[in-house]
Structure 1
Amino acid sequence: MDVVSNLVYLLVVLCVGFLARYVGLLNETRADRLTQFAFYVALPALVFTSTASQSLGDVLEPRLVLGFWTVLLAAAAVGWVVHRRRSSPSVRSVAVVQSYHCNLGFLGLPIVAATFGDVATAKASLLLGIGALTQVPLTIAVLVFVNNTDADLRDELGGLFTNPVLAALCVGLFFSALGVSVPGAVWTGLDAVAQLALPVALVVVGASLSLDETSVDLSTVGSVVALKMLVMPAIALATFSLLSADVSTTRAGVLMLAMPTAVSTFIYATELGGDANLASANVFATTVASVGTILVVLQFVG
């Protein structure tokens, strides 16, 4: 599919998920099962097949990791400067976190896979793993620090060590390093499951979108959307250009970092003293805005 077709597809499937939840076809139990399938089956299959099929030297690109960390920290710093004067800690913490925390798994990796092919997908899989080890601790730290929350960081971070995506990444890189081949029938099955990652993830994200009728500060939502969907991709494009990264590295890095704020930030905000209503509004607004901003990003890297 070309760029426009991909974005139309993204919008349509997001709407399908949203409407399915709205009319009750996708109730909470079914949505949870679909989320579990995406997280424990489809995404790990995509991560494994994308990395195991590539040369390890092509995937482990230092400028990819350096660029990702540079952009993530720069966006977090900009978010802190912009939102530091918010009077409420619960609002300030959520605004800062959602100005940098990207939806790398349910949107980033599947969209890269559907748009740019094998090498960029393998690099995006690496960023998904690096992102899980970087974004989540940073987000938890910001929420705990700003809200002065009494939380057991070991419990909050414990899920990282049982993350199936990280396990699939490690196995995929191991197969790549040793040149281990997967039997044809097994590979065909894994590839078929991996192809489901994008549609299933889009339905899950669409079903998770909700906008509480309780009033939110529109200026805060607007600033988060601007920082996450415009400023952060611009920083990413400038960073990978300055690093003289190759085409696949730039495509994977910029597109992954141009994703809307992750749905998981709503969960973290709810658990760690953040403004849950604002978090929900920001997820909704950045996801809807991403349909247009991703098109702009793809004009630069596509």
Structure 2
Amino acid sequence: MEQGQRLGDFLRSRRARLTPADIGLRDYGGRRRVPGLRREELAQLAGVSVAYYTRLEQGLSHNASDAVLDALARVLRLDDDESAHLHRLARHPPRRRRRPRPERVRPGVRSMVESVGDLPVLVFGRGTDVLAWNRVAHALLASHLDFDAPEHPERRPNLNRLLFLDPHTRDLYADWQAKARDAVADLRLTAGRHPEDPRVMELIGELTVKSREFTALWNAHTVRVCSHHTRTYRHPVVGSLTLETEVTVLPDDDGQRLAIFHAEPGSPSHEALRLLRGVSEG
């Protein structure tokens, strides 16, 4: 999909979720031909011509000024993540690059992951391939897979593929729908940041074909950074446990992220995590 089409799809989806009443316009009644705001209404409120906004939505106008994009974001009531996504999409598409080499974890990062034995820790790449994990993370998320799978690019577990296509992973999350919404919103942001990455585009294409649930969430155009969250897991060995997750971008590694899972000290989940650590070492 071309960058201009992504921009147009995103703008249309944000227009469709607003009504004239939401932004203080008078609705004179009658049936509206399209849901949400009309192009003319959005253009007027943002202070641009209808013709210019139409070209922007059609992907025919590149490098819109920051002032115009900020005005559109204000009228569309975009949050910080959505506004940053809009700015990325509105820029000239990047030059097509040669197919990138398989992602690899730096030795120092790998050593850090392996040295953390008490908590689940993993590193995942731009396309959410698992690049490294310790034994506790493996026991928590994917004990049915080989522990050494991340070492082999052709066998690497993919967090989104597991989430939508693997029954074990679906059963693991007490609120699978919430996890799925967050995962797709985060993948939308990644696709905007790395539109030239064929691995990301191939993953999106595969999941669109194989999962109706993914397709529905993808078409909603929700964007959100998933940097920390709390989730409840239904683990088949240690039972229910609620874990907080902190996700950190590795600044020198082109989109790789480090995820650390932990539980509140003294809680039943903390004890379950201790039991899981024993299972992973057994």
Into which bin does the TM-score normalised by the smaller protein fall? under 0.3
Greater share of residues in helix: 1
Normalized against structure 1, the TM-score is what? 0.26
Q: Mark the structure with the bigger radius of gyration.
A: 2
